[in-house]
Structure 1
């Protein structure tokens, strides 16, 4: 939801786990653990208002997803201005200075809108990325034979290169330890976000790449794995995370989206902040949507 949005210069939201029912059939109706914990459905649109409308239509419990829930869209009011942690250059790899500058520009827009903004990094950020990677590799490796016939050559090449260097989970004890690690990371983030309900970061830490870059070589897959790291903690922890375009690279015209991650079931706060950025920075899409 957020990666295609940032690459196309549009808005989206990854809802909290369970907010929108997930009832897919690929590769099988009975879902893997990683899919149960992390897979979500949600809307993308040119404007944040349409993303909000789409989410309101989609959300709610459905019998085909036993873990989906009914919960109010609007959460309880907060005392005082909303505090936002800003992370222009996330740990775990490099960040293009042009991308970091757009994140800081979005932070200034939030300050102008009345938010209290400070640069701060949530705890165990690197641990969240590593835990997500081991969970994905360990789980999807068990169904690779089912997935392979449905995947093209490029997708298989990317998957194999992506998995390079990530050891599979050895046994059931390893799975149990991984889930315990995830729980500890979630608790650390929940404590951090009790004081700072929103986190502003890049969506990708580099500009969008040319088609095929991620699957052409192992180096391309490694670079993609590094640049997508800001989207990963919300995946692991089931948190809502909105993407909103915040600028374009002057040299190439490529869009740069920023990410607003929030507390569980606080999509309302994520979208309010995204709309504040959109209102102050404008919508500079790469194409004319009328033509």
Structure 2
């Protein structure tokens, strides 16, 4: 019977039929549950000689080659991935393992520089020679022994090209699909990172966020995504929108993997001034601080945003009951200053984009070095403007400079009021964190009118303030995942990770995607 099952599985793989993540890896040998296993579980197997990084990496590469034809989450594979894995296995055999990420396969959002792979930000204008050096965070991953599998698709230019952009589309990778229901959108600019992790194409992926681009795709694809405090992780070598809000962060199928990865990613970088503000006593190992009882005695505010969707309301109410059942005190809150922050944020981002993107492009050989050159490239290219325009690029051409008093007032207003919205709410109710729905049900992907099915988001306060925010799977609207976000004060990354892990333990709802064509 086992031989028959193996033959059927091999036939399914050959035909491109999605099969359970563990089944592909387990043909002809003990099953390897790619979807369910955590990094600590994988490391325990490798320490006992029951698993190698080469086998694990090959399993993910095989899954990418079969399953990703439906999801389109991966732009490029690193041809050295198996060699990286073999080097990890040699370190383990000789007693030189570098830590919990050694031998673990990771995908990078394709706005993060890699010296061996072209970094495109999704734009055909950047299909040139690879960057001269790895981004700082990539150097940290390599130093920790991680296996860089390849690059994940994204919403082109991190969704900052058009007012009618469709999330998950880029000129290089075209459309990433939501693995739960393939005609639904994966949300946010880290779409390939979220969809890739959800489809078990990597153990971890790295995304980036300016406002919602980690937490929204994580919520919409049923995974965990952590947007760190701004300054915790270096941005050097990442194609930017704004140095005032951008940050990179980890995405995985569980909180412990996110915590392990964040511990490696974080650190000061002289080339990124924001990292100099990181406190000396910031934890170095977030995974060690995770404990099932973290909710007991915690005070948590719930910002319901009720009325947008009945399934979201149901999931939030059930989540509140779960939090209380684990000993947390939950109080109802509203977040102030949202209209003022929203009004100031976008024009400030336009000015910062006009400043920060050309500074990044100046270090890339053989590509356009100004936004005006990008605009002209897009006008000539047969693909780039085939789905939507470049209105934001064109607006950036006439945006005021950073010495403009109006801009300075807008940025000061956006940042200060966003910080006050969290700080004052937490102080008024003596809170440890605030929870809110991360996303509504994923909408059908269409072109011409942008993300017209987008219902709600809670990313703004933490994104604009630069405070930490993590989303955890909370439930399902039919087949579509809904996430619950935990955000808190500046540098409280350990707090939100611990609370999110305790909630995840109390509410283990995540299930693998079924790659349904539609609902």
TM (norm. structure 2) is 0.46
1:271 is matched with: 497
Q: Does the CA-based 8 Å contact 1:12-1:244 persist in structure 2? A: yes
1:247 aligns with 2:475: yes
Q: Does the CA-based 8 Å contact 1:129-1:229 persist in structure 2? A: no
In structure 2, the CA distance between the partners of 1:25 and 1:264, relative to structure 1 (3 Å rule), is: closer
2:405 is matched with: 173
1:189 is matched with: 422
2:462 is matched with: 234
CA distance in 1, matches of 2:513, 2:437: 21
1:101 is matched with: 314
2:442 is matched with: 208
Q: Does the CA-based 8 Å contact 2:422-2:488 persist in structure 1? A: no
Q: Does the CA-based 8 Å contact 1:255-1:286 persist in structure 2? A: no
CA distance in 2, matches of 1:103, 1:154: 39
Deviation at 1:168, TM superposition (A): 6.4
In structure 2, the CA distance between the partners of 1:263 and 1:280, relative to structure 1 (3 Å rule), is: same
Q: Does 125-134 or 94-103 show the bigger shift?
A: 125-134
In structure 2, the CA distance between the partners of 1:121 and 1:263, relative to structure 1 (3 Å rule), is: same
CA distance in 2, matches of 1:176, 1:119: 34
CA distance in 1, matches of 2:387, 2:298: 41
Residue of 339, 344, 360 corresponding to 1:126: 339
Which protein has greater RCO, CA pairs closer than 8 Å, 6+ apart? 1
Q: How many pairs does the alignment contain?
A: 265
CA distance in 2, matches of 1:154, 1:190: 44
Deviation at 1:136, TM superposition (A): 2.4
Q: Does the CA-based 8 Å contact 1:10-1:285 persist in structure 2? A: no
1:2 aligns with 2:215: yes
2:262 is matched with: 55
1:116 is matched with: 329
In structure 2, the CA distance between the partners of 1:147 and 1:232, relative to structure 1 (3 Å rule), is: farther
Q: Does the CA-based 8 Å contact 1:87-1:121 persist in structure 2? A: yes
Q: Does the CA-based 8 Å contact 2:421-2:461 persist in structure 1? A: no
Q: Does the CA-based 8 Å contact 1:134-1:169 persist in structure 2? A: no
Deviation at 1:138, TM superposition (A): 4.2
Deviation at 1:120, TM superposition (A): 0.7
Give secondary structure in 2 for the equivalent of 1:41: strand
Give secondary structure in 2 for the equivalent of 1:23: coil
1:82 aligns with 2:298: yes
Q: Does the CA-based 8 Å contact 2:426-2:432 persist in structure 1? A: yes
In structure 2, the CA distance between the partners of 1:162 and 1:98, relative to structure 1 (3 Å rule), is: farther
CA distance in 2, matches of 1:155, 1:136: 23
Name the structure with the higher helix share.
Answer: 1
In structure 2, the CA distance between the partners of 1:116 and 1:162, relative to structure 1 (3 Å rule), is: farther
Deviation at 1:39, TM superposition (A): 0.4
Give secondary structure in 1 for the equivalent of 2:470: strand
Whichever of the two has the greater Rg, that structure is: 2
The gaps in structure 2 that reach 5 residues or longer are 1-213, 358-370
CA distance in 1, matches of 2:332, 2:436: 10
CA distance in 2, matches of 1:235, 1:63: 23
CA distance in 1, matches of 2:373, 2:456: 26
CA distance in 1, matches of 2:491, 2:225: 16
CA-to-aligned-CA distance 1:95-141 (integer Å, 9 cap, x gap): 21211221222222111222110111122123223332332244336
1:145 aligns with 2:145: no
CA distance in 2, matches of 1:105, 1:191: 26
CA distance in 1, matches of 2:508, 2:269: 36
Q: Does the CA-based 8 Å contact 1:17-1:239 persist in structure 2? A: yes
CA distance in 1, matches of 2:476, 2:339: 28
Give secondary structure in 1 for the equivalent of 2:236: coil
CA distance in 2, matches of 1:288, 1:66: 44
Q: Does the CA-based 8 Å contact 2:418-2:461 persist in structure 1? A: no
2:87 is matched with: none
- Superposition CA RMSD, Å: 3.2
CA distance in 1, matches of 2:394, 2:256: 37
Q: Does the CA-based 8 Å contact 2:242-2:353 persist in structure 1? A: no
Give secondary structure in 2 for the equivalent of 1:233: helix
CA-to-aligned-CA distance 1:172-218 (integer Å, 9 cap, x gap): 121122133122442343222232231111112x211233x3xx133
TM (norm. structure 1) is 0.78
